[in-house]
Amino acid sequence: MPAASAKSRPRKGLRPSPWAARRRPRHEHALKREAVIVAAAHAFRERGYHNTSLDDLAASLRVTKPTLYLYVPNKEAILFECFRAGLAQIQASLDESERAEGAARERLFAFIRGYAAAIVGDFGWCMLRAEDQHLGAAMSRRIKLLKAGIDKRMRALIEAGVADGSIRPCDTRMTAFALAGALNWMGHWYREDATLKPHDIAERFIDVFNRGLRGQD
Amino acid sequence: MPAASAKSRPRKGLRPSPWAARRRPRHEHALKREAVIVAAAHAFRERGYHNTSLDDLAASLRVTKPTLYLYVPNKEAILFECFRAGLAQIQASLDESERAEGAARERLFAFIRGYAAAIVGDFGWCMLRAEDQHLGAAMSRRIKLLKAGIDKRMRALIEAGVADGSIRPCDTRMTAFALAGALNWMGHWYREDATLKPHDIAERFIDVFNRGLRGQD
């Protein structure tokens, strides 16, 4: 299979295509597969899942559709990979917070910063706005399990805070939902050209959740 | 046009069809149109917007597709009405909070209770999970304007709280986003058979947002 249309010149507004460069063969397949997933995530965000065809995707990468099939079997599998890549970023931030030292409340807030970054990242839109309904039953179940795992670990972090006294006793499940909701909603309103960067937004949210809104009583 | 298939007997699991009953003619059209919108909202939530056809919808109401066209021109218009009906519930709760007496923080919390009820209501799923992308440009613009209006009024309620001292000084825009996010996320995880009712969930959220999470420092 010729890594073919590699010869086409980069067009304005398109990201560099890894098909255009020569790389060490052992990394090449993984790298190109990743490029397919990222390009798809961007296309889904721009046009919606249903309005994006594999032809569009191939065109945006300047390859043929048969070339795409070397890396992914179909559109559903790509969406699954987008979900998974986004959730993996959140999991990585959880790993870090779980391993860190210090009061659980501070570790929860560090996680909030990582979560906010993931939401505005490449896969945020897919993770939040693409419907699980677009996935078949088996894939949808796997995504639900991944999400439930994140929710459980987030709740455990809040429970650890209640245990070490850094978080006051609260309904940990509802607190986790409130936090996740505030963060996930960023996927609906956040725009890259906004003055507040993800980190600033996370700090504002942390302030609200840390101190509450109550003024004088 | 015979209000036709009215004679079919109610089947198990189907809601009563207003076509099955004789009502005063002047209310009949509005009532039936509303039944179409509500049935569509339920069908979209069950199967997703793309997976629901007007044929499915007609079947669930035990009418013919031509009968549906007496009330709605097409599927997009139905989705628009679902969006609008859901947003109207939230607006009604805002109206009430704006008219009420007392500290703005308490009025904000009353609004949160109304918002939570709307999210789990008939139109919550459409309002939150159906993509604006399914709507044409003109309808999508109108929905965005309605949503922006709600956001602005919610922010004004928080600002009023800062002004009357019942809410401590905060980033009112980010606070409104955090609150809306926590509430909207209910549309993703809330199930009708859950032990916590929308009102209880609203109280838990109010507690978190009111007092914050901070334990001992």
Instruction: Pick the residue from chain A with its C-alpha nearest to B200.
Output: A174
Q: Mind listing the pLDDT tens digit for each residue in A13-47?
A: 566 677 766 656 668 888 999 999 999 999 998 88
Q: How far is CA B185 from the centre of its chain?
A: 13
Phi, psi of B214 (to 5 degrees): -55, 125
A-B contacts (CB, under 8 Å): 147
User: How many residues can be counted in chain B?
Assistant: 217
Determine, for residues A170 and B213 on separate chains, whether the beta-carbon distance falls below 8 Å.
yes
Q: Mind listing the pLDDT tens digit for each residue in A170-209?
A: 999 999 999 999 999 998 888 877 789 999 999 999 999 9
Contact A90, A114 (CB under 8 A): yes
Pick from B161, B201, B209: which is nearest to A215 by CB?
A: B161
Give the gap in angstroms from C-alpha B23 to the nearest C-alpha of chain A. 38
- What local confidence, expressed as pLDDT, does residue A126 receive? 85
Q: What is the pLDDT averaged over residues B24-50?
A: 88
Check residues B15 and A77 and name the one with the higher pLDDT: A77
Instruction: Pick the residue from chain B with its C-alpha nearest to A131.
Output: B129
Q: Mind listing the pLDDT tens digit for each residue in B108-146?
A: 999 999 999 999 999 988 888 776 667 888 888 999 999
Instruction: Pick the residue from chain A with its C-alpha nearest to B209.
Output: A212
Confidence band, pLDDT 50/70/90 cuts, at residue B4: very low
Which ranges in chain B belong to alpha helices (H)?
A: 25-47, 54-60, 65-68, 75-99, 104-119, 124-129, 137-164, 172-184, 186-189, 198-211
Q: Mind listing the pLDDT tens digit for each residue in B30-41?
A: 899 999 999 999
Q: Evaluate if residue A2 carries a pLDDT over 50.
A: no
Contact B114, B92 (CB under 8 A): yes
What is the complex's ipTM, to 2 decimals? Answer: 0.82
Pick from A133, A165, A178: which is nearest to B216 by CB?
A: A165
Q: Mind listing the pLDDT tens digit for each residue in B154-182?
A: 999 999 999 999 999 999 999 999 999 99
User: What is the spatial distance between Cα A197 and Cα B166, in angstroms, rounded to a whole number?
Assistant: 29
Determine, for residues B214 and A131 on separate chains, whether the beta-carbon distance falls below 8 Å.
no
Interface subset of A 56-75, CB within 8 angstroms of B:
none
Residues from chain B contacting residue A133 (CB–CB below 8 Å): 47-48, 50-51
Confidence band, pLDDT 50/70/90 cuts, at residue B5: very low
For every residue of chain A, DSSP letters joined together read ---GGGGSPPPTTPPPPGGGS---HHHHHHHHHHHHHHHHHHHHHHH-STT--HHHHHHHHTS-HHHHTTT-S-HHHHHHHHHHHHHHHHHHHHHHHHH--S-HHHHHHHHHHHHHHHHTSTTHHHHHHS-GGGS-HHHHHHHHHHHHHHHHHHHHHHHHHHHHTSB-S--HHHHHHHHHHHHHHHHHH--TT-SS-HHHHHHHHHHHHHH-SB---
Q: Evaluate if residue A1 carries a pLDDT over 70.
A: no
Q: Is B167 helix (H, G, I), strand (E, B) or coil?
A: strand
Query: What secondary structure letter does DSSP report for B133?
Result: G
Determine, for residues A167 and B213 on separate chains, whether the beta-carbon distance falls below 8 Å.
yes
Residues from chain A contacting residue B210 (CB–CB below 8 Å): 212-214
List the structure tokens of A170.
Answer: 């609260």
B177 to chain A, any CB pair closer than 8 A? The answer is: yes
Q: Mind listing the pLDDT tens digit for each residue in A99-112?
A: 999 999 999 999 99
Give the pTM.
0.83
